Structure 1
Amino acid sequence: MKWEGNRESDNVEDRRSSGGGGGFGGGRSIGIGTVVLALIGWGVFGINPLTTIGVLSGADAPQVQQAPAQRPPGDDRQAAFVSTVLASTEDVWGQIFQQGGAQYRQPKLVLFRGATPTACGTGQSAMGPFYCPGDQKVYLDMDFFDTMSRQLGAPGEFARAYVIAHEVGHHVQTLLGATAKVDGMRGRISQRDQNALSVRLELQADCYAGIWARHSQQAKNWLDQSDIESAINAAQQIGDDTLQRQQTGTVRPDAFTHGSSAQRVRWFSQGLKTGSVQACDTFKAQAL
């Protein structure tokens, strides 16, 4: 992925020196997938990962003062990569919204280590990257990139870019109202039906990541086939069935919250192929 020399976003907050933080809200965060604690709770106890996230981000989390937000240091290559990818999402979604007669509201991306306060409660590294609709920020502990390579079998810079673009996809969903509609169903439908809605929300974010990939490639020509393959591999490695099989040796489709490997690959590829928001309507799709 030829990303060096491209514009970097000004919307990156670096909290990595703060050492953690306390929560100040109770909203639900939306992530690409829980990595450690939530998967253990899921695999061993059958607990929905979103439930585990809710516990992690509750009032009992440790309360630590947050250091003032600052820009990443100029010599931090990994932070420069994140800033460059975020800038590209700003360009792509800004143009798409403009073509639709609307203005794109850019999200912030927060770099942190360990834990940090969010409007959805205390964000923990164990959640993996996530988006908080309450403050419209993406949260990322970059140690997750090492987890992707070493534990999840998903190496490569464009695989990492896909992760960022997926979380930005959740921001687009918030702006378009999809997130509020899904959250509005909470407590009114069964847990199984709620999981099914969560799957459709996550697959749409994968499709939106594909849209970004297509438009950014048209604008910058910064990808080759191996980059696309690394993103597709990442989508496959973090499918619910793959993660469940690794954790427990069995697959429970009724407990899916993000979609199977095949579904995640299909919807990312759908966005990549079409570049169309309308083609990413997972909520109307008869088959996922």
Structure 2
Amino acid sequence: MSKAKPLSDAQPTQRKGAPLPTDPGQTGYGAPPPAPLPGAPSTPLTGTRQRGGARPVGWNSPSSRRPPQFTDTTPAAPVRRLPQPVLVSAAVVGVVALIGAAILGYRAMDTFDTVANPLANPSAKQTEVPLAPPRPTVTVTATPVPDAVRVKQNGLYKAGKVAAVNCTAPAVKPSTEAAALRFYQAILPCLNRAWAPLVRKAGYEFRPPKVVLWAKGQTSCTGEPTDVAFYCGDAETITMRGDQDSKLFRQDATSGRIHAMDTLAHEYGHHVQMLTNILISSSSRKGWAKTEPAKLEESRRLELQASCLGAAFLGANKTALGITGQRLETWEWQTKHSGDEYNPKKVRDHGSRKNNWLWSGASFKTTNPASCNTFTAPAAKVS
């Protein structure tokens, strides 16, 4: 949330076998065949015929085999032979049938679709390189970083200075809300290019924020009414008060331009805190604080750091953004006169004007986030 300023009344921030059948009237398995009668010849007599022949004997049918009967000597009827032409014709027909069957079988084999019948003849393509066996899954449990360590020893403090990105001062005059939005959008790419390398060097992923205009009746992230600019970490969105900035610009062009630029840089500082997890850990520390003064102190450390980070960007790009001469003097005066003293509600959540200048004035010169570690400072410097 933007800091309080005295310039206007508007304030920015889931097999088993089958049972055996039995014949009717029979129980158990069939008996083995009986031995031949004593004195019986070992082969049938010549010229005789045994009626019915031998019946098969198996596990499931009882034996009905009896000794051969040799009392029937009735000569067998002569075998009737077919005429020779009939035999020849039958042989020819048989040969033709066999050839036809062979041809049909060959055609069936030739047209059999192994793709349509994969179970009959499965096809598999061998890969050139055998597949490696699956590797076991290893779960690594990351050790959580304490909130105090994250805010006091963050990699952002060791990432180096903010770079000059050779931006040019916006030619847009923020005299209306629509023009103010274009003014913010002209500076946003400069902020992205300046902070992206440092956020990545600190070990975090960079994502550009969105910038939108405040709409009448709109509430802040907490659902409370607001009359200042603010940043929402969940949506990573900066909401600017274009109505206030355009009004101030119409009153004083230099003051309006510097105020809009400084407020945007401050809110972008909150985005940097979000990307580096400082904002999350500081909010956690504030939630665990047991007293209201302790909660307010944590809030001041966060807000003073956001202003400090914004000033580091402005200092690194002061020439390109035109913050020189009278505009530089205006920025210094506004910074020295921005603080909780000017808050109509007298809430001490952003820091005194003295400490605002203490942090922002220093980082404007050093252009280094290392100058913005408000979380290790004594209470007096974040009052």
TM-score relative to the length of structure 2: 0.49
CA-to-aligned-CA distance 1:158-197 (integer Å, 9 cap, x gap): 2210001000101111112221122113153211011011
Please list every run of 5 or more consecutive structure 1 residues that lacks an aligned counterpart in the other structure: 1-29, 39-74
Partner of 1:83: 185
Conserved? CA contact 1:108–1:138, under 8 Å:
yes
Equivalent position to 2:213, from 111, 128, 142: 111
Q: 1:123 to 1:215 in 2, by over 3 A?
A: farther
Task: Please state if 1:206 is matched with 2:307.
Answer: yes
Aligned to 1:281: 373
Cα distance in 1, alignment partners of residues 223 and 247 from structure 2 = 21
Matches within 5 A, 1:135-174: 135-146=235-246, 155-174=255-274
Report the identity percentage.
Answer: 23
Instruction: Measure how far apart 1:276 and its partner are.
Output: 1.1
Deviations, residues 261-282 of structure 1 (Å, cap 9, x unaligned): 1111221112211111111101
Contact 1:115 1:123 in 2 (8 A): no
Amino acid at match of 2:364: L
Q: 1:269 aligns with which of 341, 345, 361?
A: 361
> In structure 2, do the counterparts of structure 1 residues 100 and 177 end up closer, same or farther at CA, with 3 Å as the change threshold?
closer
Higher helix share goes to which structure?
Answer: 1
- Counterpart of 2:195 in structure 1 is 93
CA pair 278-33 structure 1, distance change in 2 beyond 3 A: same
Paired residues of 2:204 and 2:275 also in contact (CA < 8 A): no
Q: Report the 3-state secondary structure (helix = DSSP H, G, I; strand = E; otherwise coil) of the residue aligned with 1:128.
A: coil
For the 8 Å contact 1:182–1:197, the answer to whether it is kept is yes
Q: How many angstroms does 1:239 deviate by?
A: 0.8
CA RMSD, aligned part only?
Answer: 3.2
Q: Secondary structure at the match of 1:189?
A: coil
Q: For 1:1-288, what aligned pairs fall within 5 Å after superposition? A: 30-33=1-4, 76-100=178-202, 102-116=204-218, 120-122=221-223, 124=225, 126-146=226-246, 155-185=255-285, 186-217=287-318, 220=320, 222-241=322-341, 243-244=342-343, 247=344, 255-286=347-378, 287-288=380-381
Question: Residues of 2 paired with 1:223 and 1:137: CA distance?
Answer: 26
Give the superposition deviation at 1:207: 0.5
148 and 179 in structure 1: CA distance in 2 versus 1, 3 angstrom threshold: farther
User: Cα distance 1:150–1:223, how it changes in 2: closer, same or farther (>3 A)?
Assistant: closer
Is contact 1:36–1:127 with CA below 8 Å preserved after alignment? no
Instruction: From the superposition, tell whether residues 221 and 36 of structure 1 become closer, same or farther in structure 2 (CA, over 3 Å).
Output: closer
CA distance in 1: counterparts of 2:194 and 2:218, whole angstroms: 28
1:90-144: CA deviation from partner (whole Å, max 9, x where unpaired): 11111322444544211111113213366x24474x4300001121111112112
Distance 1:265 1:240 in 2: 13
Equivalenced residues, count: 211
Matched residues in 2 for 1:207 and 1:262: separation? Answer: 13
- Distance in 1 of aligned mates of 2:224 and 2:240: 9
Structure 2: stretches of 5+ with no match in the other structure: 12-176
Q: Is the 8 A contact 2:3 2:339 kept in 1?
A: no
Q: Would the aligned equivalents of 1:204 and 1:280 in 2 still touch at CA under 8 Å?
A: yes
Contact 2:311 2:361 in 1 (8 A): yes
User: Which structure would you say has the larger Rg?
Assistant: 2
TM-score, length of structure 1 as denominator length:
0.63
After superposing the two structures, state which structure 1 stretch, 131-140 or 177-186, moved more: 177-186
Instruction: Find the aligned partners of 2:263 and 2:321 in 1 and give their Cα distance.
Output: 20
Letter in 2 for 1:175: L
8 Å CA contact 2:205, 2:275 repeated in 1: no
Larger fraction in strand: 1
Q: Distance in 1 between matches of 2:237 and 2:290?
A: 28
